[in-house]
């Protein structure tokens, strides 16, 4: 099966066909997988790609396969494929395949890449191309699914080159409904944990993935799968996603603002980024997502509580919720180890009961959003490891989960037409995918 390069190629049949679409029933926990057998063709919106500026998906990538000379042996060359074994070196591999020590010497001393063959790794593939006299004509050493070193004979010399192939990008779709946790739902839908983390990171300014996730929350995600020689080699970018949290839908579409760094924006051009993260701990470390109303472990009552507690294993990293300056990194009897960060004139965040501080964290230190400032612990008045987190606006405690947060810069008005042209196809893909799913569910 040949996969076309994506760009504006949209391989829907495959995307939907591969999608192991998951319906989680809350009543009995059974999972149905209704779509593995048939591929469903979506009715795609017609995209006039002549009117669109080119997508920047490939901007940072090496030349496409068409531009790379194909390593195709001459008719009378024999191809010998072999894999590096543990304890191998080039001389051993040559010997095993009946090649001459002289050729080992010539290729491994060739400048400038020959020395790279001194470090070869078990499992990597070597392909020899030899003529009828068993003379080595070409050697290809694959260092990864997309990267290889090529050595070409030229008389009594070898010239080496490094070749990087571009993977074929194929659009894929996943949908999941959460019953217990995002990770369980994602795994059922066939998303890797890494992709699930990236999905959560896209929405981490709007959704507290530790405390706000509820049964019935759902996600729809359009992303790239990367293939090389018809083999799946990994996930590419998430191009568009929607997360429905407690009935509210958040939608994000990837867009490159021209500086080569793709970022995520709502369809109206607002950045998904905000000045503060909703939760300053990584949700993946936290097991009890739905344990909301903790009774205070020491006082056994629900006390007026001016912050939020995130129960998490000792050592779970704690992130600065926003850019700012550490004003206190100290210890008291009640707070244990704690950090206070000032973010401009208006905002202050506090982090209590840490087992230890992040590297270099002390008062006066500037920190960036997402930087690790400490680790969850149970120092001070705490019986179990947790982070106590407070959020103050003009000196007044606010609920960090509901306080409205300032946005990062949106798409400027003059760029809006360009932005819409760029992103509408992905918004349409999401819409189409969602409606296909609801039609399928209704059957």
Which residues contribute to the site for Zn ion (CB under 5 A)? 309, 388
How many Cα neighbours within 13 Å face the side chain of 347?
21
- Beta-bridge mates of residue 42: none
| Separation CA 246–CA 428 (nearest Å) | 23
Residue with smaller CB distance to Zn ion, 249 or 334? 334
Nearer to Zn ion, 5 or 398 (CB): 398
User: 36 or 332: whose CB is closer to Zn ion?
Assistant: 332
Smallest distance, Zn ion to C-beta of residue 246, A: 23
Strand partners, 215: none
CB of 295 to Zn ion, least distance (A): 12
Distance in Å, CB of 305 to Zn ion, minimum: 6
What DSSP character marks residue 278?
S
For Zn ion, the closer CB: 84 or 286: 286
Q: Which is nearer to Zn ion, 3 or 338 (CB)?
A: 338
Query: Quick check: 36 and 45 in contact, CB under 8 A?
Result: no
Rounded least distance, CB 425 to Zn ion, Å: 46
In the complex, residue closest to Zn ion by CB: 388
Distances in Å between the Cα of 320 and the Cα atoms of 359, 361, 400 are 13, 11, 13
Query: Residue 303 Cβ, how far from Zn ion at the closest point, in Å?
Result: 9
Structure tokens at 64: 């496409």
CB of 377 to Zn ion, least distance (A): 13
Contact 2, 157 (CB under 8 A): no
Instruction: Report CA dihedral (371, 253, 19, 215) to the nearest 10 degrees.
Output: 60
Going by C-alpha positions, the residue among 262, 257, 292, 266 that lies closest to residue 206 is: 266
The dihedrals phi and psi of 339, each to the nearest 5 degrees, come to -130, 135
Complex with Zn ion: residue 212 or 224, whichever CB lies closer? 212
């Amino acid at each position: 099966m040949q996969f076309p390069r994506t760009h504006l190629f949209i391989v829907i049949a495959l995307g939907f066909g591969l999608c192991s679409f998951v319906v989680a029933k809350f009543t009995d926990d059974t999972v149905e997988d209704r779509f593995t057998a048939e591929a469903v063709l979506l009715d795609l919106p017609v995209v006039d790609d002549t009117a669109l500026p080119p997508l920047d998906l490939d901007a940072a990538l090496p030349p496409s396969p068409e531009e790379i000379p194909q390593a195709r042996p001459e008719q009378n060359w024999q191809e010998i494929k072999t894999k590096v074994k543990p304890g191998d070196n080039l001389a051993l591999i040559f010997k095993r395949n009946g090649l001459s020590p002289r050729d080992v010497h010539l290729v491994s001393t060739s400048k400038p890449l020959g020395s790279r063959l001194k470090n070869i790794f078990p499992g990597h593939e070597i392909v020899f191309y030899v003529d009828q006299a068993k003379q080595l004509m070409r050697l290809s050493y694959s260092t990864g699914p997309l990267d290889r070193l090529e050595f070409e004979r030229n008389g009594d010399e070898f010239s080496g080159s490094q070749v990087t192939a571009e993977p074929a990008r194929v659009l894929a779709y996943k949908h999941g409904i959460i019953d217990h946790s995002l990770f369980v739902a994602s795994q059922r839908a066939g998303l890797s944990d890494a992709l699930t983390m990236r999905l959560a990171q896209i929405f981490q300014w709007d959704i507290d993935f530790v405390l706000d996730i509820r049964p019935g929350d759902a996600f729809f995600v359009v992303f790239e799968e990367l293939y090389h020689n018809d083999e799946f080699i990994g996930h590419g970018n998430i191009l568009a996603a929607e997360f429905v949290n407690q009935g509210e839908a958040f939608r994000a579409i990837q867009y490159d603002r021209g500086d080569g760094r793709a970022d995520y924006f709502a369809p109206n051009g607002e950045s998904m980024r905000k000045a503060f993260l909703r939760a300053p701990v990584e949700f993946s470390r936290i097991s009890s997502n739905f344990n909301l109303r903790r009774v205070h472990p020491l006082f056994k009552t629900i006390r007026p509580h001016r912050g939020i507690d995130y129960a998490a294993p000792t050592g779970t990293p704690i992130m600065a919720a926003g850019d700012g300056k550490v004003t206190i990194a100290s210890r008291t009897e009640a707070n244990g180890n704690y950090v206070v960060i000032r973010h401009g004139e208006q905002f202050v965040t506090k982090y209590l009961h840490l087992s230890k501080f992040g590297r270099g964290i002390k008062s006066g230190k500037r920190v960036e959003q997402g930087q690790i400032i400490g680790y969850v612990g149970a120092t001070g008045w705490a019986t179990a490891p947790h982070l106590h987190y407070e959020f103050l606006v003009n000196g007044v405690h606010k609920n960090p989960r509901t306080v409205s947060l300032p946005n990062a810069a949106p798409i400027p008005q003059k760029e809006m037409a360009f932005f819409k042209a760029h992103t509408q196809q992905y918004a349409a893909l999401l819409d189409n995918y969602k409606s296909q799913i609801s039609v399928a569910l209704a059957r």
